Each structure stands twice: as structure tokens, then as C-alpha cells.
Amino acid sequence: MMRLDILQNQWLALALVGGCVFVLAIVLVCVETWRTGHRTPGRIPWFMILVYAATAIFAAVYVTLRTLTPPNW
């Protein structure tokens, strides 16, 4: 099993990179909306739907994998 500090660093890197990609996607969609002039106040952007779906799928798969392979300590 990996040392705890290495595992924490991997999760930290994943969170930082994922957050940067998420903010970049928000900025790109906002710039595109601003340039085209379309205003859709009640509509959820497509990338937000993808983020929510990916989060739910990741959570389900991660919990299932952790349940099937418990730690060996």
C-alpha cells in the first residue's frame, strides 16, 4: 500500500488540475456566450451537465472499487 503522504499529494494534484480545467471551461463558455450575445438564464450549460454526470459516475465507481478491495492494514 502507498504511503499516506504520496496518496495525499496525488489527490491534491488531481484536485488542483481538475479545478483549473473546470474554471477554464467556465471562462470559455462565458466568453462564447458574451461574444454571441445569447442570453439563456434558465438553461444549464452543457459542460455543467457533463461535470455533474462525471462526478456522480466517479463517486459510484470509486466507492464500489474501495468496497471490493479493502485496505490491507
**Domain ranges (residues) in the chain:** 4-68
Residues 16-43 as b/e (b if ≥16 CB within 10 A, e otherwise) read eeeeeeeeebeeeeeeeeeeeeeeeeee
pLDDT tens digits, one per residue of 11-67: 888 889 988 888 888 788 778 777 777 666 666 677 778 878 988 998 899 888 888
Give pLDDT, residue 57: 92
What is the greatest pairwise CA distance in the chain? 57
Residue 50 to residue 57: CA distance in whole angstroms: 10
pTM strictly above 0.85: no
pLDDT at 1 over 60: no
Give pLDDT, residue 71: 72
Give pLDDT, residue 33: 75
1, HSE (Cβ side, Cα atoms, 13 Å): 8
